Amino acid sequence: MREFEIFTVGNPPPYHGGHYWIFVKLTTNGGVSGIGEAYAVPFHPSAAEKMIADVCERCVVGRNPFHLEKLWRVVYSRGYAQRSDMSVTAALSAVETACWDIIGKELGRPVYELLGGRVRDKLRAYTYLYPEDGDAADVYTCADAAAERAGEYAARGFTAVKFDPVGAYSAFDPRQLSLESLERAERFVNKIREAVGGRCDLLVGTHGQMTAAAAIRLARRLEPADPLWLEEPVPPENVEAMAQVARATAIPIATGERLATKYQFRDVLAKGAAAILQPALGCCGGILEGKKIAAMAEAHYAQIAPHLYCGPVEGAANIQLATCSPNFLILEGIKTWDGFYAEILREKIEWQDGYVIPPTAPGLGVTLDEEAARRHPYRGNEQHLGVHNEPL
């Protein structure tokens, strides 16, 4: 590898996918470039850029992008920590994804053709319920508005929608939910089920707000609506607590956004804590690591649903993994991949009637529009995602 460049791109309002996206471009001695994306580095991007640059300077420049297994171990083990630290694995994920983009371009093949080949010609996709300009009520807090939006998405072709009926999360979670919160969540789910009928699966996207006891109470209220999953019902640090929830409900448990590497996903599978794994390829360790996680899941009869709440480069990586994984379930997107998601790429990710169509171009199948990226530098002081710093 000859050089690298880091782009921190400000995501314009309404910030769907976070306040900013961090892209890493690698270029070989032969002039072939690849792009990757880092997700959820828990620092301001000015600090994240320095961390990623240090990784690239010490571990990437001068190395062969085809030697991914060796590069992965060198970055993962740097500084002696050798553990699944998302600060390191986000940088590693961006670098590893960029290497795959280079490899695919060098060989003239999409990445999925190099990891087992195409399994599906189209990929079922879902989106969160998002507010729109002119809404009379907030889809995040009003069950009727959320149900109306879900009906609109179903009419456009979506066969699954996600929403968080529990509400805000804080640095002091997990917590026991109040009766008011339980009733609100039950009302949300029932209203949305009534609006979409059997056209859509309901994905209950909680964010680790609950204790195991609270999650079990909630799950029992939601079971009659038959959600496809209950996502991250407890924080990711306690696998045994998540397994306790999984044993107590018929709703499949999904988790993985805040897990990194095969090692943390191994513990989830070993404890029977989830039936659906959601690796975020911008922080779990990259595309090959995602393929290893998918293979472990396959052996446990678990499925994968790659997570996305950042930019379209991680989304493109998710598409490559989903296309070549037999146990793929569903793909997360930001609505239909329009707006700034399309503006920042030279090739729009193709969405048709609720499905993403895998690209046939080599590498990731997308190219970052570097001029568009430079026109949108991030100048804010927010982190990509945050939590309330007071108890709720």
Q: What is the pLDDT of residue 242?
A: 98
Task: Report whether CATH 3.20.20.120 matches the domain 113-364.
Answer: yes
Distance CA 89, CA 129 (A): 29
Asked whether the predicted pLDDT for residue 106 surpasses 90, the reply is yes
CATH number for 3-109: choose from 3.40.50.40, 3.30.1510.10, 3.30.950.10, 3.30.390.10. 3.30.390.10
In this predicted structure, what is the pLDDT of residue 233? 98
At 374 the pLDDT is 97
What band does 244 get if pLDDT is binned at 50, 70 and 90? very high
Q: What is the pLDDT of residue 79?
A: 84
CA 367 vs. chain centroid, Å, equals 20
The stretch 310-317 carries a mean pLDDT of: 98
- Confidence (pLDDT) at 384: 82
pTM for the full predicted model: 0.97
**Catalytic positions, written as ranges:** 207, 307
Q: Could you give the percent of the chain with pLDDT greater than 90? A: 94
pLDDT tens digits along 155-196: 999 999 999 999 999 999 999 999 999 999 999 999 999 999
**Domain range list for the chain:** 3-109, 113-364
